Amino acid sequence: MSARIELKEKVLAENDRLADDLRQEFRAAGIVALNLVSSPGSGKTSLLERTLKALNNRLRIALVAGDVQTENDARRLQAAGGKIVRSVITGGACHLDAKMITEAVSTIDLSVIDLLLIENVGNLVCPSSYDLGEDMKVVVISTTEGDDKPLKYPAMFRRSGAMVINKTDLLGLSDFELSKVITNARAINSALKMFQISCRTGDGLPEWYDWLAALVKNKKAET
Amino acid sequence: MSARIELKEKVLAENDRLADDLRQEFRAAGIVALNLVSSPGSGKTSLLERTLKALNNRLRIALVAGDVQTENDARRLQAAGGKIVRSVITGGACHLDAKMITEAVSTIDLSVIDLLLIENVGNLVCPSSYDLGEDMKVVVISTTEGDDKPLKYPAMFRRSGAMVINKTDLLGLSDFELSKVITNARAINSALKMFQISCRTGDGLPEWYDWLAALVKNKKAET
């Protein structure tokens, strides 16, 4: 085994250990934690803005927004009504890791929130390897990307529990075929929960909101 | 310095050494080498398909298509008329490196080509650090991504010589503002050569083709 692979495995093992601690902390607090992953530009921040506006009165939501540079996303989420928003600038790293989340979460009183939404760095590769202690990864893709993305980035779709297909208002304006992306995603992960939405028109979003609310309700029932 | 950073620097130094060898090889052969980088789904493969169809009779073009999994892109390029197409599957790595290109190029007779187009893995972070011996990185973005991408991924825009803005046919259907992305890109890299194109309608592509042809012509004049 090369020194490079050995070190990568060590880094991932250390990350997994911190992620397990986070998961226990989230479970003890009875909160649902989701890790949103996607390409740059698929609309994670827009989805979170809509989610905040729709659910801020029903759920107590905290957000951690990761970015390579800038606090643009965190600022957008605050403007959209986010009460507890933390920005993590990775400073060049192409993914969030459990250490960054541990630091961000240490500044949040978990006893007063129901739902933690983590917006990862826009990247379909590396974030798939880094467990952040989340209940589930949610992969967001948009209809303006290629419909073969699940086949080209299989690890991300395999390790996600849900897939949100955004920008359905632009269907028909490119070669993207909805049926193809669904077939390709199912081939990689047959259990993937799917949503078809447009953050621009609002289409399909109520189903997403209800699903989030149900996740929180089920978690409360468990604890 | 941590063991992790130390190893990363060693890996990058080794990559730079191999990239320098490649650059000399390309120069000796008198060919232009471009490294196309972007988010997943911005349209690199579509741009290369159009480029092949338009320039195959004017220039001798070789292509190296990198992907995490699948040979989809290489197959599309062959179908579009690519005569010399090599597929590099990174097997999980989120970027191409100079070693992969050295292996791919070793199977190509450089004396019979004018232009080498390398399609990197869809990722706006890591590919910015890996020199592939290219004359220039070309960053492709699309009007369906956010117009703040240059600010959020500054290294990529700083290290690129040209920026192609694709999907101009979809302008006005999202909040993306052309003037903003141009201002943001210029703030990071004032020397960036810019193209506004639509691979769907063909708008703006002749200028891109002419620029490629001029790069080749100038390279031949040098050697």
- The string of pLDDT tens digits covering residues A96-129 is 999 999 999 999 999 999 999 999 999 999 999 9
HSE, CB side, 13 Å, CA atoms: give it for residue A51: 29
Strand-by-strand arrangement of the B32-38 sheet: B84-89, B61-67, B115-119, B32-38, B136-142, B160-166, B193-196
Whether the Cβ atoms of residue A116 and residue A102 lie closer than 8 Å to each other = no
Q: Which residue in the set A72, A146, A200 is minimally distant from B41, CB to CB?
A: A146
Q: Which of A15, A71, A141, A148 to mutate to test the interface with B (most CBs of B within 10 A)?
A: A148
Determine the pLDDT at residue A52.
97
pTM (predicted TM-score): 0.90
**What's A68's DSSP letter?**
S
Cβ contacts of A155 on chain B, cutoff 8 Å: 68, 92
Cβ contacts of A11 on chain B, cutoff 8 Å: 4
Q: Band the pLDDT of B39: cuts 50, 70, 90.
A: very high
Q: Which residue in the set A70, A92, A149 is minimally distant from B40, CB to CB?
A: A149
Arithmetic mean of pLDDT, B167-196? 96
Location of structure tokens 């187009």: B117
* pLDDT of B81 higher than 70: yes
**What's B62's DSSP letter?**
E
Q: Which residue in the set B146, B154, B170 is minimally distant from A170, CB to CB?
A: B170
Q: Band the pLDDT of B223: cuts 50, 70, 90.
A: confident
Determine the pLDDT at residue A1.
52
In which element (H, E) is residue B160 found? strand B160-166
Q: Band the pLDDT of A4: cuts 50, 70, 90.
A: confident
* pLDDT of A161 higher than 90: yes
User: Which residues sit opposite B162 in a β-bridge?
Assistant: B138, B193
Query: How many C-beta atoms surround the C-beta of residue A56 within 10 A?
Result: 14
Cβ contacts of A7 on chain B, cutoff 8 Å: 3-4, 7
Determine the pLDDT at residue B1.
52
Determine the pLDDT at residue A91.
84
Q: Which of A123, A129, A165 to mutate to test the interface with B (most CBs of B within 10 A)?
A: A123
Q: Who wins on pLDDT, B92 or B187?
A: B187
State percent of chain A over pLDDT 70: 100
Say if the Cβ atoms of A7 and B3 lie within 8 Å.
yes
**Could you give the C-alpha distances from A113 to A77, A82, A83, B132, in angstroms and in order?**
16, 12, 11, 47
Mean of the per-residue pLDDT values for chain B?
95
**Could you give the C-alpha distances from A136 to A61, A149, B29, B83, B217, in angstroms and in order?**
16, 20, 51, 44, 53
Q: How many CB pairs under 8 A join A and B?
A: 119
* pLDDT of B3 higher than 80: no
* pLDDT of A78 higher than 80: yes
Whether the Cβ atoms of residue A85 and residue A77 lie closer than 8 Å to each other = yes
Arithmetic mean of pLDDT, B142-168? 96
Say if the Cβ atoms of B123 and A121 lie within 8 Å.
no
Q: Band the pLDDT of A3: cuts 50, 70, 90.
A: confident
10 Å CB burial of residue B106 (0-12, 13-18, 19+) is exposed
Q: Please give the Cα distance from B152 to B159 (Å, whole number).
A: 14
pLDDT in tens, A44-68: 999 999 999 999 999 999 999 999 8
**What's B173's DSSP letter?**
S
Arithmetic mean of pLDDT, A147-157? 95
Arithmetic mean of pLDDT, B96-106? 97
Cβ contacts of B94 on chain A, cutoff 8 Å: 94, 123, 125-126
Interface of A with B (CB under 8 A): 3-4, 7, 11, 39-42, 45, 67-70, 72, 92-94, 121-126, 141-142, 144-146, 148-149, 151-155, 167, 169-170, 173-174, 200
* pLDDT of A151 higher than 80: yes
Cβ contacts of A187 on chain B, cutoff 8 Å: none
